[in-house]
Amino acid sequence: MKPDLFQAPDYYNIDELLTDEHLLVRDAAREWVKREVSPIIEEYAQKAEFPKQIIGGLAEIGAFGPYIPVEYGGAGLDQISYGLIMQEIERGDSGVRSTASVQSSLVMYPIWKYGNEEQRQKYLPKLASGEWMGSFGLTEPDHGSNPAGMTTNFKDMGDHYLLNGAKMWISNAPFCQVAVVWAKSEEGRIHGLIVERGMEGFTTPETHNKWSLRASSTGELIFDNVKVPKENLLPNKSGLGAPLGCLDSARYGIAWGAIGAAMDCYDTALRYSKERMQFGKPIGQFQLQQKKLAEMITEITKAQLLAWRLGVMKENGTATTAQISMAKRNNVDMAINVAREARQMLGGMGITGEYSIMRHSMNLESVITYEGTHDIHLLITGLDITGLNAFK
Ligand code: TGC
Ligand code: FAD
């Protein structure tokens, strides 16, 4: 792969909206990605393997629990810092950002928000340091967009719960030490349970042959009469709103992350357009290529402003689920379109692993599907503005 010459576009001087702390956190993450992710990521994506050696570095830049309080091992940062970290990591690779998103917003967040003090003390510091990795089991083979229909269930056996069922498409599953699993009680109420590797009947087979998110490890969570200690139930929230609350936080991070992937594609195409000569001129001199670049930077700039404003609202506690959906949907769609246009600008070179664009392009096909598909987010906006439910 080519050396990482990335220069971040900031067409509207959005840096002026950021504090010194934001810039410090962002720049530290940016440098780390350049040093530790860019040189190895193509090789790991090609061999479809998560680079486990970067776990310690992810913890050091605050990517595991950026907004979780310091007393639990988190970085104690605000929501914009969290977003900026996700942006920089996804600039490197969406699969690496996935690992950080799951650890922070889908594993640490529910333990912090819905867990008791013993659970927080037991799990959060180890998750923040990367000593333990976590996964989040909501999706099932027959229940993806409609998690309310889940069939994974647990029975109260007096001194423990007996868990049965299966989750599919679970990021980090093959190597996680703990899984936050959503399952129905005998009364049909959804609860979160912390399942640990080593519990009898709990297995995590890997999902192979993905063409997308290849540097992220995806698998199943299978529960065959797993005895879960009663103290592993998250006591402070139940119902579908509990996992959906975690998704609000992760989707917010993706709204920022997608900008990173788009920035990398734009920056690569811009540089290439000045170097690649055809018909005796750099291709960047042709109007059609300038149109592509001008539209890319316009869309990136709009997405940056959307994410920044959402970050302000998230920080002051006013961001709604529907506002988060709009930003996730818009920014991922924007990134897919930027990646497609950028790849075309590189001609044949665009399909090779010499450049990052094709990998981003393939990764974004997962990003536009997980954490709520493109269409599900449109329907969330539709419901919000009309008051009419088009899901069912
Ligand atoms: P609905 O009737 O709308 O809501 C059920 C209950 O939940 C409450 N609620 C929320 N609570 C907190 N935060 C939110 N964001 C909430 N949204 C809804 C709601 O008030 C209600 O409460 P109550 O007390 O009345 O029961 O639910 P629904 O069944 O109609 O579903 C709505 C829908 C379709 C939008 C929802 O199911 C949905 O978002 N589906 C998409 C599924 C999804 O996003 N799955 C993601 C799986 S995790 C993943 O993909 C990780 S990828 C990780 C990575 O690698 O980065
Ligand atoms: P389906 O729900 O079957 O949807 C198929 C199509 O139907 C989609 O286009 C959808 O938009 C459309 N559709 C569905 N319902 C409606 C409707 N009411 N109206 C209109 N159109 C509709 N899940 C986890 O729990 N944890 C994870 O860590 C995780 N990681 C993932 C990693 C990867 C790489 C991938 C690909 C997925 C991951 N997922 C994870 C699962 C992801 O959240 C689901 O794939 C996603 O929610 C969609 O579910 P589905 O694949 O079953 O598609």
Find the CATH number of the domain harbouring 146: 2.40.110.10
Q: Which of 136, 177, 170 minimizes the C-alpha distance to 52?
A: 177
How far away, in angstroms, is 294 Cα from ligand 1 center? 37
User: In this structure, what token pair is assigned to residue 144?
Assistant: 């993806």
In a domain, 392, yes or no: no
Lining residues, ligand 2, CB within 6 Å: 102, 136-139, 144-145, 169-171, 213, 218, 366, 369-371, 373, 375-376, 379, 391
Lining residues, ligand 1, CB within 6 Å: 98, 101-102, 136, 138-139, 145-148, 171, 239-241, 244-245, 247-248, 250, 321, 370-372, 376, 380, 391
Find the mean pLDDT for residues 31-41.
Answer: 98
Between β-strands 134-137 and 178-184, what pairing exists: parallel, antiparallel or unpaired? parallel
The span from the CA of 91 to the CA of 308, in Å, is 17
The span from the CA of 63 to the CA of 176, in Å, is 17
Q: What confidence tens digit (pLDDT) does each residue in 269-328 have?
A: 999 999 999 999 999 999 999 999 999 999 999 999 999 999 999 999 999 999 999 999
Q: Exposed, middle or buried, 129 (CB in 10 Å: 0-12/13-18/19+)?
A: middle
Find the mean pLDDT for residues 16-35.
Answer: 98
3 or 211, greater pLDDT: 211
How far away, in angstroms, is 100 Cα from ligand 1 center? 21
Which contiguous run of DSSP H or E holds residue 271? helix 241-275
Q: In sequence order, what E strands does 263-381 have?
A: 277-278, 281-282
End position of a domain, from candidates 182, 206, 238: 238
Tokens 């920080």 correspond to: 315
Give every CB contact of residue 351 below 8 A, 6+ residues apart in sequence.
343, 358
End position of a domain, from candidates 238, 271, 288: 238
How far away, in angstroms, is 315 Cα from ligand 2 center? 28
Within 38-166, residue ranges assigned H as helices are 38-46, 55-60, 79-92, 94-101, 109-114, 117-129
- For residues 127 and 115, is the Cβ–Cβ distance under 8 A? no
Helix (H, G, I), strand (E, B) or coil at 223: strand
Which protein residue's CA is at the shortest distance from atom 50 of ligand 2?
144
Give the chain's domain count: 3
Per-residue pLDDT for 2 more than 90? Answer: no
Closest ligand 2 atom, residue 141 Cα: 52
164 & 297 share domain: no
In a domain, 6, yes or no: no
Q: What confidence tens digit (pLDDT) does each residue in 193-230 have?
A: 999 999 999 999 999 999 999 999 999 999 999 999 99
At 140, the pLDDT band (50, 70, 90 cuts) reads very high
Find the mean pLDDT for residues 112-138.
Answer: 98
In a domain, 80, yes or no: yes
CATH number at residue 319: 1.20.140.10
Domain span including residue 291:
241-386
Helix (H, G, I), strand (E, B) or coil at 160: strand
248 & 323 share domain: yes
247 & 286 share domain: yes
Instruction: Report pLDDT for 228.
Output: 98
269 & 293 share domain: yes
Instruction: Report pLDDT for 157.
Output: 98
In a domain, 7, yes or no: no
Q: 60 catalytic, yes or no?
A: no
In a domain, 391, yes or no: no
Q: Report pTM.
A: 0.98
276 & 382 share domain: yes
Give every CB contact of residue 86 below 8 A, 6+ residues apart in sequence.
63, 97, 100, 101, 253, 254, 256, 257, 260
Amino acid in position 373: T
At 1, the pLDDT band (50, 70, 90 cuts) reads confident
66 & 90 share domain: yes
358 & 311 share domain: yes
233 & 246 share domain: no
Instruction: Report pLDDT for 292.
Output: 98
Tell which one of 150, 244, 375 to mutate to probe ligand 1, the residue whose CB is within 8 A of the most ligand atoms.
244
Helix (H, G, I), strand (E, B) or coil at 33: helix
In a domain, 8, yes or no: no
Closest ligand 2 atom, residue 173 Cα: 28
Q: What confidence tens digit (pLDDT) does each residue in 37-47 have?
A: 999 999 999 99
149 & 122 share domain: no
Per-residue pLDDT for 254 more than 90? Answer: yes
CATH number at residue 65: 1.10.540.10
Closest ligand 2 atom, residue 372 Cα: 47
Closest ligand 1 atom, residue 245 Cα: 13
Q: What confidence tens digit (pLDDT) does each residue in 233-252 have?
A: 999 999 999 999 999 999 99
- For residues 119 and 194, is the Cβ–Cβ distance under 8 A? yes
End position of a domain, from candidates 238, 256, 280: 238
In the DSSP assignment, the letter for residue 266 is H
247 & 346 share domain: yes
Which protein residue's CA is at the shortest distance from atom 44 of ligand 1?
372
Per-residue pLDDT for 340 more than 80? Answer: yes
Which protein residue's CA is at the shortest distance from atom 48 of ligand 1?
371
Instruction: Report pLDDT for 245.
Output: 98
Find the mean pLDDT for residues 163-184.
Answer: 98
In a domain, 5, yes or no: no
In a domain, 114, yes or no: yes
85 & 139 share domain: no
The single residue of 90, 220, 299, 371 carrying the catalytic annotation is: 371
How far away, in angstroms, is 168 Cα from ligand 1 center? 17
Q: How many CB atoms lie within 10 A of CB 46?
A: 13
118 & 150 share domain: no
